Amino acid sequence: MMDFAWVAIALGDVAWITLAFCMGFLARMMSLPPLVGFLAAGFILNYLGTASGEMLHKLADLGITLLLFTVGLKLNLKMLLRPQVWAVTVLHTSTIIALFGTAIFSLAIMGVPLFSDLDLKFSLMLAFALSFSSTVFVVKVLEDKDEMNSLHGRIAIGILVMQDLAAVIFLAASTGELPSLWALLLFLLIPLRPLLHHILQQIGHGELLILYGLVLALGGAELFELGGVKDDLGALIMGLLISAHPKSVEMAKAMLSFKDIFLIGFFLSIGMSGQLSLEVLIIGLLLVPFIFIKSALFFALMTHFKLRARTALLASLNLTNYSEFGLIVAAIGVSSGWMSAEWLAIIAIALSLSFVVAAPLNSGDNRIYGAYRNFWLKFQGEKRLPDDMLLNTQGATIAIFGMGRVGSGAYNRMRELHGDTVVGIDFDAELVKRLQMKGSKVLHGDPSDADFWDKIEQDHGINLIMLALPNLGANLDALEQLQEISFPGRIVATARYSDEEDLLLQAGATTVFNIYTEAGAGFAEHAIRSDTP
């Protein structure tokens, strides 16, 4: 017999999902990321007095677990050892705690409502929470723009991982619970790595690949929780253990849609945290401008550690937000009686609005840099990292931007036809190294970078550019830069959908190649040729 209590829960969750879709669609129509609409839906439900349901919490928890697992799949441990990551994180966190902690404690001394019950210790604790940036938001933005492997993306992810490690230490100290002795058994996962790789190699490319990813992510989270360690860290470590396998990239792509669906629950649950009031709303609003202090400090530190102005700016814009970790700290403070319950709603409002502010900044980051380029360059040091050296195209006349599957196929064919006059260019440094080791003529660079053509020698002979970048936004950004320098040659761009073709042509492409349409035509021609005796 059907359980009508579960029917009621299901209907309630369907209503939330429908509202999330409507608000996400509205945000898309306003040229904002859908996650802004999901946050708004959460606040609407909160205002209507709706409590978050069981299904919503499960979606949120699963989404965060899968998110950190996919981060682990793409994590490069060498990046964490760079001073641009660990030193920037330590200096930034320490400075923000001192600045924000002093400001919060000053308000407490002045007797400002809701601040008056905070002593110096809890003021610093709250400042510590506000120093973090959101792993969920940053990874979502970088994945949507396909910039996880760009230098600024890897720097931002490295800083977030360092912050997550600090969060684990804080949570263990705040609860007074140390990991159990059983946690030592977790080190046995390291020698099991070859077995995990062997299974990944044997499971093929279909549903078993996704299911294996779920087993690793959820199983890793459960194992770490049993050992008294934060479960999300377990998902991150399991992803890291198989990140070196060639199929890890395929697994991350296969799980992308699942993760995105589950993360809707996370964004909805933020807006439904705590009780809203006018006083709470005002304080939450007043916290939002402080994200720009965080961002400015990130930019100053990164340029100090020899990062190029553009790289530092894009990474800083990625990190211009508050973290969901603030909600965890607030929940601990409220449950322990250290602060009033209203702080949970205050942090939720500040967190949500920081996402709303950060979303358009990240979508227009290249335009922000290009429009005020001379200003940003004032902060750039004279010493440059190896990735900023002058690029020598070695006499190439044809340049292929984007060395993924389409770009690599085009590169190989053009090399057969035109020899060494063809050069490939990609922003993924690791991919560039692998291709160079195979003998390919490939350079590391980003054509959407306003400085890119300054790094190319001035007497280059490139007269044909083929854009095989991973998404429409990247191709449009590259076309914008080519328009800026008045590139005189031909530009051929790739598109996935018919509505993208007109946009690319209007942006300056000479001709557009629809991957899916042309793939079918090419397949037919191949069949006809192979049938000819």
Quick one: 357 and 484 in the same domain?
no
Quick one: 91 and 192 in the same domain?
yes
Q: Give pLDDT tens digits for 49-68.
A: 765 566 677 777 787 788 77
Q: What single letter denotes the amino acid at residue 34?
A: P
Instruction: Name 450's bridge partners.
Output: none
Instruction: Show the tokens assigned to 240.
Output: 């890291």
What is the C-alpha to C-alpha distance for residues 264 and 351, in angstroms, rounded to an integer?
Answer: 15
Residues 153/74, Cβ–Cβ less than 8 Å:
no
Helix axes 193-202, 207-226, angle to 10 degrees: 160
Residues 211/255, Cβ–Cβ less than 8 Å:
no
Quick one: 141 and 204 in the same domain?
yes
Instruction: Show the tokens assigned to 291.
Output: 């994200």
Max CA pair span of the chain? 91
Once rounded to an integer, what is the mean pLDDT over residues 239-254?
A: 82
What is the C-alpha to C-alpha distance for residues 212 and 17, in angstroms, rounded to an integer?
Answer: 27
Residues 383/320, Cβ–Cβ less than 8 Å:
no
Quick one: 510 and 431 in the same domain?
yes
Once rounded to an integer, what is the mean pLDDT over residues 324-334?
A: 74
376 Cα distance to chain centroid:
23
Residues 403/424, Cβ–Cβ less than 8 Å:
yes
Instruction: Show the tokens assigned to 159.
Output: 């800083």
| Highest mean pLDDT (candidates 13-17, 86-90, 433-437, 454-458) | 86-90
Once rounded to an integer, what is the mean pLDDT over residues 265-287?
A: 79
Please give the pLDDT value at position 5: 45
Number of structural domains, the chain? 2
Instruction: Show the tokens assigned to 399.
Output: 């340049």
Instruction: Show the tokens assigned to 463.
Output: 């007269």
Helix, strand, coil percent values for the chain (each to nearest 5)? 70, 5, 25
Please give the pLDDT value at position 4: 40
Instruction: Indicate whether 6 belongs to any domain.
Output: no
Instruction: Indicate whether 29 belongs to any domain.
Output: no
Q: Give pLDDT tens digits for 117-152.
A: 788 888 888 899 899 998 878 888 887 777 777 788
What is the C-alpha to C-alpha distance for residues 482 and 475, in angstroms, rounded to an integer?
Answer: 11
Quick one: 244 and 274 in the same domain?
yes
Quick one: 401 and 515 in the same domain?
yes
**Res 281 pLDDT > 80:** yes
Please give the pLDDT value at position 9: 45
> Residue 214 carries which DSSP code?
H
Instruction: Name 443's bridge partners.
Output: 425
Element (H, E) at 512: strand 511-514
Residues 273/341, Cβ–Cβ less than 8 Å:
no
CATH number for the domain spanning 330: value is: 1.20.1530.20
What is the C-alpha to C-alpha distance for residues 156 and 318, in angstroms, rounded to an integer?
Answer: 7
Please give the pLDDT value at position 89: 94
Q: Give pLDDT tens digits for 403-451.
A: 888 888 889 989 988 888 999 999 887 888 889 898 889 988 887 776 6
SS3 392: coil
Residues near 300 by beta carbon (within 8 Å), at least 6 away in sequence: 379
Quick one: 366 and 409 in the same domain?
no
The sign of the torsion formed by the CA atoms of 40, 299, 139, 128 equals negative
Q: Which of 353, 377, 401 is the last residue of a domain?
A: 377
Quick one: 346 and 227 in the same domain?
yes
Identify the residue whose tokens are 């549903």.
Answer: 207
Question: Within 10 A of 302 (CB to CB), how many other CB atoms are there?
Answer: 27
> Residue 456 carries which DSSP code?
B
Residue closest to 155 by CA, chosen among 21, 22, 315: 315
Instruction: Indicate whether 30 belongs to any domain.
Output: no
Q: What single letter denotes the amino acid at residue 374?
A: N
Q: Give pLDDT tens digits for 166-217.
A: 876 776 666 555 667 777 778 888 888 899 988 988 887 778 888 888 899 8
Residues near 76 by beta carbon (within 8 Å), at least 6 away in sequence: 154, 243, 430
How far the first Cα of the chain sits from its last, in Å, is 67
Q: Give pLDDT tens digits for 27-46.
A: 878 877 777 788 788 888 77
Helix axes 309-318, 135-144, angle to 10 degrees: 120
| Helical ranges in 419-497 per DSSP H | 429-437, 452-455, 472-484
- Main-chain phi, psi angles of 308, to 5 degrees: -65, 155
Quick one: 108 and 252 in the same domain?
yes
**Res 353 pLDDT > 80:** yes
How does residue 338 score in pLDDT terms, banded at 50, 70 and 90? Answer: confident
Instruction: Indicate whether 240 belongs to any domain.
Output: yes
DSSP per residue, 31-79: TS-HHHHHHHHHHHHHHTTPPP-HHHHHHHHHHHHHHHHHHHHT--HHH
How does residue 363 score in pLDDT terms, banded at 50, 70 and 90? Answer: confident
Once rounded to an integer, what is the mean pLDDT over residues 225-249?
A: 81
How does residue 333 score in pLDDT terms, banded at 50, 70 and 90? Answer: confident
Q: Give pLDDT tens digits for 286-327.
A: 999 999 999 999 999 999 998 888 889 999 999 999 987 777
Quick one: 264 and 197 in the same domain?
yes
Once rounded to an integer, what is the mean pLDDT over residues 484-491?
A: 85
Question: Within 10 A of 44 (CB to CB), how many other CB atoms are there?
Answer: 17
What is the C-alpha to C-alpha distance for residues 429 and 521, in angstroms, rounded to an integer?
Answer: 33
Once rounded to an integer, what is the mean pLDDT over residues 395-404?
A: 89
Instruction: Indicate whether 45 belongs to any domain.
Output: no
What does the mean pLDDT of the chain come to?
Answer: 81
Question: Within 10 A of 348 (CB to CB), how many other CB atoms are there?
Answer: 28
Once rounded to an integer, what is the mean pLDDT over residues 487-499?
A: 88
Domain range spanning residue 106? 56-377
SS3 204: coil
CATH number for the domain spanning 436: value is: 3.40.50.720
Instruction: Indicate whether 449 belongs to any domain.
Output: yes
How does residue 337 score in pLDDT terms, banded at 50, 70 and 90? Answer: confident
**Res 480 pLDDT > 90:** no
Please give the pLDDT value at position 61: 78
Q: Which of 332, 350, 377 is the last residue of a domain?
A: 377
Quick one: 351 and 399 in the same domain?
no
Instruction: Show the tokens assigned to 354.
Output: 């920081």
Residue closest to 134 by CA, chosen among 304, 285, 305, 351: 351
What is the C-alpha to C-alpha distance for residues 479 and 406, in angstroms, rounded to an integer?
Answer: 18
What is the arrangement of strands in the sheet containing 398-401, beginning at the earlier edge strand?
442-444, 422-426, 398-401, 464-467, 490-495, 511-514
Residues 133/168, Cβ–Cβ less than 8 Å:
no
Once rounded to an integer, what is the mean pLDDT over residues 376-388?
A: 77
Please give the pLDDT value at position 521: 67
Burial class (CB in 10 A: 0-12, 13-18, 19+), 533: exposed
Residue with the bigger pLDDT between 88 and 456: it is 88
How does residue 400 score in pLDDT terms, banded at 50, 70 and 90? Answer: very high
Please give the pLDDT value at position 11: 45
201 Cα distance to chain centroid:
27
Q: Which of 348, 377, 406 is the last residue of a domain?
A: 377
> Residue 145 carries which DSSP code?
T
Quick one: 454 and 352 in the same domain?
no
Instruction: Indicate whether 462 belongs to any domain.
Output: yes
Instruction: Indicate whether 10 belongs to any domain.
Output: no
